[in-house]
Amino acid sequence: MSLLSTEICTEIDRWLEKYPPNQKQSAVISALHTVQNYHGWISRELLDAVAEYLEMPNIAVYEVASFYSMFDLKEVGRYKINICTNISCLLSGAEEMVEYIEKRLGIRVGQTTADGKFTLRSVECLAACVSAPVCEINRDYHERLTPDKIDAILKELE
C-alpha cells in the first residue's frame, strides 16, 4: 500500500495533467512540495513512494529532493522560521534578528524547540530585499522585522 494519501495523489494527479503521460518525472518538484505540505517533511519512505508514483528511479527523486534546500528531509518543527541572512537583510539588521529569535526561543540556528513547534534556519535571499530584514514562516513572509514584530508574530503562533 502506498504511503501517499488519496488527497496527495489527487493533487499530484493535477500536476501530472500538465505534462505528457510519458513525462511523469516533470511533476517531481510539485509532488515533493505536495508531500511536504501534508507531512511537514519528507521521509525516505515518502521519497520512495513519490518515485513509485511517478515511475522514476528512487535515486532520481533523492537527487532532486536533496538538491533544493526547501525540501526538509529530516523532521522539523511545525513552524519553520527561515530568516534571510543575505546581504540586504544583513545590512538591515538580520544578525540582530537572528540573535533575538535564538534568545526568544532558546535555540540556535539549525535547531528545533523541545516542544517541536519551531525550527530556526538561516537562508539565502528570499527575494524580498526591499523589505529587509525578512523571514518566512512556513509559507508566510514577514518583512521589516524588528524585535517587537518578532514578538507579535511568535505570540500568535505560540
Q: Which residues bind ligand FES (CB under 6 A)?
A: 84, 86-89, 125-129, 132, 134
Amino acid residing at 41: W
Neighbours of 154 (CB within 10 A): 17
Cell 521589516 belongs to residue: 144
Q: How many residues does the chain have?
A: 158
Are 13 and 2 in contact by the 8 Å Cβ rule? The answer is no
Shortest Cβ 141–ligand FES spacing (Å): 9
Shortest Cβ 77–ligand FES spacing (Å): 21
Shortest Cβ 131–ligand FES spacing (Å): 8
- How is residue 21 annotated by DSSP? G
Based on CB atoms, which residue is closest to ligand FES, 70 or 127?
Answer: 127
**Beta strand pairing status for 135-137 and 118-123?**
unpaired
CA angle 135, 111, 42 (to 5 degrees): 85
Based on CB atoms, which residue is closest to ligand FES, 60 or 127?
Answer: 127
Which residues neighbour 138 within 8 Å (Cβ) at sequence distance 6 or greater?
A: 79, 80
Shortest Cβ 83–ligand FES spacing (Å): 9
Shortest Cβ 99–ligand FES spacing (Å): 17
Based on CB atoms, which residue is closest to ligand FES, 42 or 83?
Answer: 83
Based on CB atoms, which residue is closest to ligand FES, 32 or 128?
Answer: 128
Based on CB atoms, which residue is closest to ligand FES, 52 or 99?
Answer: 99
